[in-house]
Structure 1
Amino acid sequence: MKYVDLSATAEDDPRLSAGAITYSYVGVAHRSRVFLTGFAILVGMFVLGGYVMEAQFHKPFHALPGTHPLTAVMVLLLATSLVMHRLLEPISIVRRGILLAVVCLSSLRLIEIQSGSIHHPLSAAMARWLAPYSDMSGIETGANTAMCLGLMALSGLLLSRAPRLALWAAVLAGFISLLGATGYAFRLDVLFGAMSPVTVACLVPLALATMTLYAHRRIFRIVLSDTPVGFVARCQIGFSSFLMVLVAAAQVGDKFASATMQNLFLALVLWLIGAMNVITAGIYDRIDRRRRKVERDLVIAALHDSLTGAANRHGLELYFSGLERELEVGVLLIDLDHFKLVNDRYGHKAGDRILATVSTALRGRLRERDVLARWGGEEFLVVLYNVDIEGLATVAEKLRLIIQDMVDPLGEVEHFTASIGATLMGRGERALEPAVARADRALYWSKDMGRNRVTLWRDLPVPAREAARALKDDITRAKPDVSLTGT
């Protein structure tokens, strides 16, 4: 099952603006709760059974603390409440009662510890009831154990009413249990205190099971997502846990290991750390390359027409604003002749194919410093940098012949031509629109004269040029600093 956070916004959830991110490992985490709590129940039953049968299941190592019956009872109660949990269902009265009982027992035990009295009525009553014949000297429920179990029970109670507070209670309980495990791994008595190894074996899976209740929350979704970042995080957590187990094994067996074996073990640990760093670096490198590719694709999509691959108006504006205006600039406006008939007779797919074919052919004949932009439906605009009037006429004629000699890749459209209007921009011109207006007037003159030809602005009759100048004056009065708009 793949979980989705429906409350996220586009600002914190890239799925709303890009490809969907799935969280299939959230379902794995919820399903693992049964196995984690089952293991804790099994250990708790072994502890209580050991007391009944006067076995030493609660204290397998004589030099280390043992597990008190009170601890085993709270573990079993808490594990039972976790097994009873159902997603998206309100907490039942029975489960609430079980959690309240654990909170009360852990609170009473903490009060006993804080009182400083040598009499502990709760612990003594539990020992008389469940372990009447066992030696309980040095065996107690420590403050860290009581606090860990109480926080897990409190987290379950607050799950529906104060989920954020419940989440941090579960995280703190997990921290306490892992602190005890770390203490045993590195032989640091101050970290585990009165928490026995058997208690640690119960609390760690119980804490993990409690945190699975919040697997859909953002703090855990990072680790449980199907993204490369989630994969790296899971690998690092698993690798760190594996190293802790190795260190613990080395601490147990260091009395029996030679110096050579200890050095080999140290070398193995260092090699594993180096291997993990290399693997992580490779994964992050792939992530970075994907990110840069997406950025490049976004830039291309923002500056280019998706159908033809030519620049769009925004891309043309960006190109034109970066030109050095010390040299002359030529402007060509190209319109495909009778293009509406192509769409009507052969369909829009054929028309789109012709536009893409023309764009590809024209871009292949332009210099790198020139630009081809799609200006309208079947209109293209060419900006030629550092060109004189003769060069402008030559390039325009070559482009007209390229279009005239082109063939439809699928052979549907037999023949198509283009009319072109051309003009030069003076060194004092800072906006492109007046030049486009002149090229557009020259283009219409080409159409009026029979199409499939090139017309230079300078070759227009005087009345036609005067009409274009009037249009330029209207544009200038309406907007003194004219720049490109649109997309």
Structure 2
Amino acid sequence: MPTRIVLTVRIAGMALATSMLAFGLLDRMFHFLDGLYPAGSVQHTSALTYVAIALAIVASSLQRPLRHTGRSEALIWAVIILICLTGLVLLGPTDAELWNGSTWNNAASLLLLSTGQLLRRTRPTAGLVCTLLALFTPAVALNGFTHGDPAFFGSMALPTAIALLALAVVNATRFARHRSIRLMLVDNPAGQLVRQQIVIWTLLAVFLPLVARLLPLVNLSHDTIFPTLYTAQMGLILLGIMHFGIRFVSLLDNARRLERALVRDVETDSLTGAATRRAARAWFEDRIWRSHVAVILVDLDHFKNVNDTYGHAVGDAVLQTAARAMQEEMRMTDMVTRWGGEEFAVMFPLNNPVALRARAEVLRVRIAEATRSTDGLPVVTASLGCTIVEKGVGRSLIEAVSVADHAMYRAKEQGRNRVVLCDGLEPQPGPTGHEPQLSDVTLARLRTA
């Protein structure tokens, strides 16, 4: 969960910042790290900067994750800004006693960090930008140190750079609900990929150069081992790029499969495999502007009695059998929709009442035949109401089905198991009897009508 990730990052960052503060104070007194800096670039952070960093650690410890900045915390951030401005304006960046070793790098990072936290509630986007910019100077200093370039890390000491970097990361987690940083914290494949890439590129940028910088401490020649380390770093960079490419393609493929599955779930009835109302509405709105559309509302006769007598399992099987029988009679341009309960709406492009009746008769006969020929199912007939919606007419699918529904109820009133066309299409009385017996020749003629 994002909250767990935030808490983990905050605890690790606070521990790192506190330990670096203590180590920096010890280094200031005993000069542990002087041998790691290039000649003439040894740096020690001033006492005033350590006071500001200590206050930043205190302010960060007062924070409640994912909550607004409290008054006590805001006061401490304001004091840090005052300390930085005092050091820059009154003492000057070259003061030998109080401000030497901090200058603009430390002051800029602390000012941006404090400003970002003060703006977090009123201007969250500006606060996030300031907090991320606070990462820049210590990150550049750390990278310059690992590569042995004094021009990059300038006057920033190594423990100070690590402490400021950790504090900036800790305070950046307070923007976890911001849309720009949420992607890195969500517990899904995309968030995992982002976090993995951050770790990989951080190690590539820092770890191997840092190893090269520490080689003199174990009496290994930098010139001898550096080509091997450089080759290893280039190889890891290629592996990092390949890892990102493979995972990104995999994520896209999974996203496409998920999208297709979601579309299928939304547009397909899970029981019968017929289309849902949503898919039917989209189909109708697309077709009605190009051609006339015939709509048949199919209602299974006495379906409630089937459920009451044989159970819902048999009722579900009847629905599946009826839907499959109708779908077998459909063309690529046609659609079978489960409209609700035991009702199905069948739609296809057509502008011929005679052909419409013929196709409806085929569906009626096929439903009865399918249930009769399936073991364990009772014979179920259907009543069908039909209508034709003219091309371009501003009638919705709901209105068209309502017209077909009135015709279907007339079929029920006339004895069920029949086809009735709506008013205006010159309906003809359907065949009498509950189980029509059509010859194979007649059925074939109806199917091809």
Question: So what's the TM-score if we normalise by structure 1?
Answer: 0.67
Decide whether aligned partners of structure 1 residues 323 and 202 sit closer, same or farther in structure 2, where only a CA change above 3 A counts.
closer
Distance 2:78 2:367 in 1: 85
> 1:46 deviation in Å?
1.6
The one-letter amino acid of 1:74's match is A
Q: How does 1:92-107 map to 2 (within 5 A)?
A: 93=72, 99=77, 101-107=79-85
Instruction: Please identify, of 180-189 and 346-355, the stretch whose mean Cα deviation from structure 2 is larger.
Output: 346-355
Q: How does 1:473-484 map to 2 (within 5 A)?
A: none
The one-letter amino acid of 1:34's match is M
1:373 paired residue number: 337
Q: Please give the secondary structure, in 2, of the residue aligned with 1:200.
A: helix
> 1:329 deviation in Å?
7.8
1:32 aligns with 2:9: no
The one-letter amino acid of 2:365's match is R
Q: Please give the secondary structure, in 2, of the residue aligned with 1:38.
A: helix
2:27 paired residue number: 47
Distance 1:384 1:166 in 2: 58
Residue deviations 1:143-171, cap 9 Å, x none? 21233234434555666676555544432
The one-letter amino acid of 1:29's match is V
Asked if structure 1 preserves the Cα contact closer than 8 Å seen for 2:338 and 2:344, the reply is yes
Distance 1:337 1:292 in 2: 41
Decide whether aligned partners of structure 1 residues 228 and 387 sit closer, same or farther in structure 2, where only a CA change above 3 A counts.
same
Q: Please give the secondary structure, in 2, of the residue aligned with 1:406.
A: helix
The one-letter amino acid of 2:319's match is L
1:335 aligns with 2:299: yes
Asked if structure 2 preserves the Cα contact closer than 8 Å seen for 1:39 and 1:205, the reply is no
2:61 paired residue number: 83
Residue deviations 1:315-351, cap 9 Å, x none? 4454456669999987654321123434565677765
Decide whether aligned partners of structure 1 residues 65 and 274 sit closer, same or farther in structure 2, where only a CA change above 3 A counts.
same
Distance 1:96 1:459 in 2: 81
1:393 aligns with 2:393: no
Distance 1:168 1:342 in 2: 66
Asked if structure 1 preserves the Cα contact closer than 8 Å seen for 2:290 and 2:391, the reply is no
1:74 aligns with 2:52: yes
Q: How does 1:270-285 map to 2 (within 5 A)?
A: 270-285=234-249
Given candidates 406, 410, 415, the residue that maps to 2:371 is: 406
Asked if structure 2 preserves the Cα contact closer than 8 Å seen for 1:59 and 1:196, the reply is no
The one-letter amino acid of 1:418's match is A
Instruction: Name the Cα RMSD after superposition.
Output: 4.5
1:59 paired residue number: 34
Instruction: Please identify, of 237-246 and 328-337, the stretch whose mean Cα deviation from structure 2 is larger.
Output: 328-337
Q: How does 1:9-408 map to 2 (within 5 A)?
A: 23-48=3-28, 51=29, 55-57=30-32, 59-61=34-36, 63=39, 64-70=41-47, 71-87=49-65, 88=67, 91=70, 93=72, 99=77, 101-111=79-89, 114=92, 120=95, 123-124=96-97, 140-155=101-116, 166-245=127-206, 246-250=208-212, 256=221, 262-300=226-264, 303-305=267-269, 308-312=272-276, 315-316=279-280, 318-319=282-283, 332-342=296-306, 351=315, 354-375=318-339, 377-383=341-347, 393=358, 396-397=361-362, 399-406=364-371
2:447 paired residue number: none
Asked if structure 2 preserves the Cα contact closer than 8 Å seen for 1:354 and 1:408, the reply is no
Decide whether aligned partners of structure 1 residues 37 and 440 sit closer, same or farther in structure 2, where only a CA change above 3 A counts.
closer
Q: Please give the secondary structure, in 2, of the residue aligned with 1:41.
A: helix
Asked if structure 1 preserves the Cα contact closer than 8 Å seen for 2:68 and 2:121, the reply is no
The one-letter amino acid of 1:403's match is A
Asked if structure 1 preserves the Cα contact closer than 8 Å seen for 2:21 and 2:160, the reply is no
Decide whether aligned partners of structure 1 residues 436 and 430 sit closer, same or farther in structure 2, where only a CA change above 3 A counts.
farther
Decide whether aligned partners of structure 1 residues 285 and 24 sit closer, same or farther in structure 2, where only a CA change above 3 A counts.
farther
> 1:56 deviation in Å?
1.7
Residue deviations 1:51-101, cap 9 Å, x none? 2xxx223634462322134233433343344334445587475x6665555
Decide whether aligned partners of structure 1 residues 90 and 459 sit closer, same or farther in structure 2, where only a CA change above 3 A counts.
closer
Q: Please give the secondary structure, in 2, of the residue aligned with 1:367.
A: coil
The gaps in structure 2 that reach 5 residues or longer are 431-449
Asked if structure 2 preserves the Cα contact closer than 8 Å seen for 1:59 and 1:65, the reply is yes
1:460 paired residue number: 428
Q: Please give the secondary structure, in 1, of the residue aligned with 2:135.
A: helix
Asked if structure 1 preserves the Cα contact closer than 8 Å seen for 2:87 and 2:93, the reply is no
Distance 1:46 1:407 in 2: 92
Distance 1:414 1:238 in 2: 65
The gaps in structure 1 that reach 5 residues or longer are 3-21, 128-138, 463-487
Decide whether aligned partners of structure 1 residues 409 and 232 sit closer, same or farther in structure 2, where only a CA change above 3 A counts.
farther
> 1:189 deviation in Å?
3.2
Q: Please give the secondary structure, in 2, of the residue aligned with 1:241.
A: helix
Residue deviations 1:412-442, cap 9 Å, x none? x64422234568x69x866699997997687
1:485 paired residue number: none
Instruction: Please identify, of 153-162 and 435-444, the stretch whose mean Cα deviation from structure 2 is larger.
Output: 435-444
Distance 2:327 2:132 in 1: 60
Decide whether aligned partners of structure 1 residues 225 and 380 sit closer, same or farther in structure 2, where only a CA change above 3 A counts.
closer
The one-letter amino acid of 2:24's match is G
Distance 2:253 2:91 in 1: 57
Asked if structure 1 preserves the Cα contact closer than 8 Å seen for 2:367 and 2:382, the reply is no
Asked if structure 1 preserves the Cα contact closer than 8 Å seen for 2:276 and 2:338, the reply is yes
Decide whether aligned partners of structure 1 residues 390 and 151 sit closer, same or farther in structure 2, where only a CA change above 3 A counts.
closer
Q: State how many pairs are aligned.
A: 415
> 1:277 deviation in Å?
2.3
1:419 paired residue number: 383
The one-letter amino acid of 1:184's match is F
Distance 1:329 1:91 in 2: 65
Asked if structure 1 preserves the Cα contact closer than 8 Å seen for 2:116 and 2:131, the reply is yes
